[in-house]
Amino acid sequence: QVKRAGRHDFRFFTAAMQQRAARHLQVVNALRYALEREQMHVVYQPQVSLKTGRIVGAEALLRWSTPELGVVSPAEFIPAAEESGLIVAIGDWVLRQAVRQARGWLDAGFPPMVMAVNLSAIQFRTADLPSHVAQVLYEEGLPPEYLELELTEGVAVQDPQGAIATMNQLHDRGIRMSIDDFGTGFSSLSHLKKFKVYKLKIDQSFVRDISTDSEDKAIVSAIINMARSLGLTTIAEGVETVEQLEFLREQDCDEMQGYHFSKPLTPDAFRALLER
Ligand code: C2E
Ligand code: MG
Ligand code: MG
Ligand code: MG
């Protein structure tokens, strides 16, 4: 009986795996043409100061849909783009769009905002990244202090020394960096000291139950306090409720981002928000 159940499980598992592998191939193949077929666009989520209530930044988030696959979530296509190496071209396109958008908002006379762009570890490790980013900023006419690159702790796993060198070069060019999903990686605090980052983005998994879970409270509070003593800015991700907001304000968190204030918006909708 046990044996039969086991074999059945195995067959089931294999079928599921095959299905997943087929889907993965389909996604990777479609990704190759996503840009030239103009299937991708960028949405922008406001980042808000907890002190002033004003929009102080925006995070660029990539969206993709195709006639065959429908809407594919970043959680699915970003890893596929990373594995296939397509993330370098795609990420570059996002950077260009976001920098151009930031320039557009400045030109329209809106108060200065920082544009945050997610950078995958693979992009981060491309040889000429710092000069390439500087080149894009130059071509689009955006001063470097208006750009922030969101890195994950993963960038430093393989080669901490190389990561520090790249960060130093970005920093020397006036480009800001933040650590995304902070607290979920193997956050080596000794690395943090050497990283030229200016902001920690507290992962939404800690924020979710912040008003009820005392451990999450303790973690978020500890991150904010540590950041403050290191001179770093903090932003909480995934803020959905006023209770979460109140706790973060009590703890002196600097900024927040989440559905409570706004979902990611199309450029037109973001502009309408800025005009209000
Ligand atoms: P992330 O950089 O941590 O982005 C935050 C994610 O949380 C976004 O999901 C955002 O839509 C979502 N979010 C924001 N506020 C709330 C909230 O209040 N509640 C909940 N439940 N979620 C909220 P999204 O857009 O699906 O992106 C997922 C991940 O995909 C991003 O996580 C990022 O790691 C990656 N990603 C998205 N765009 C890009 C890109 O252009 N390049 C790279 N390398 N990665 C990207
Ligand atoms: Mg991010
Ligand atoms: Mg995040
Ligand atoms: Mg994430």
DSSP state letters, 128-143: THHHHHHHHHHHHT--
Could you tell me where the beta strands, DSSP code E, fall in the chain? 40-49, 55-66, 70-72, 114-118, 147-151, 176-182, 199-202, 233-236, 255-256
- What is the pLDDT tens value at each position of the chain, 276 positions in all? 444 555 556 666 688 888 989 999 999 999 999 999 999 999 999 999 999 999 999 999 999 999 999 999 999 999 999 999 999 999 999 999 999 999 999 999 999 999 999 999 999 999 899 999 999 999 999 999 999 999 998 888 778 889 999 999 999 999 999 999 998 876 667 778 788 899 999 999 999 999 999 999 999 999 999 999 999 999 999 999 999 999 999 999 999 999 999 999 999 999 999 998
Please report the pLDDT score of residue 14 as a whole number.
84
Please report the pLDDT score of residue 12 as a whole number.
67
Least distant ligand from the CA of 92: 1
Q: Is 238 in the pocket of ligand 1 (CB under 6 A)?
A: yes
Residue 203 CA to ligand 4 centre (angstroms): 8
As a whole number of angstroms, the distance between CA 133 and CA 170 comes to 8
Q: Is 125 exposed, middle or buried (0-12, 13-18, 19+ CB in 10 A)?
A: middle
As a whole number of angstroms, the distance between CA 163 and CA 154 comes to 10
Residue 202 CA to ligand 3 centre (angstroms): 7
Rounded alpha-carbon distances, angstroms, from residue 47 to 111, 124, 176, 239, 269: 13, 23, 15, 11, 15
Look at residues 111, 117, 112 and name the one whose alpha carbon lies nearest to residue 132.
Answer: 117
- Please report the atom of ligand 1 found closest to the CA of residue 117: 41
Q: Is the ipTM of this complex over 0.85?
A: yes
- Please report the atom of ligand 1 found closest to the CA of residue 259: 18
As a whole number of angstroms, the distance between CA 117 and CA 275 comes to 23
In DSSP terms, 178 is beta-bridged to 150, 199
Spell out which residues have Cβ within 5 A of ligand 3, the ion.
180-181, 237
Please report the pLDDT score of residue 188 as a whole number.
67
Which residues, at least 6 apart from 187, have a Cβ–Cβ distance to it below 8 Å? 153
Residue 64 CA to ligand 1 centre (angstroms): 13
Question: What is the radius of gyration, based on Cα positions, of the chain?
Answer: 20
Q: Is 45 in the pocket of ligand 1 (CB under 6 A)?
A: yes
Residue 156 CA to ligand 4 centre (angstroms): 16
Please report the pLDDT score of residue 155 as a whole number.
86
In DSSP terms, 236 is beta-bridged to 202, 256
Answering whether pTM is above 0.90, one says yes
Please report the pLDDT score of residue 196 as a whole number.
87
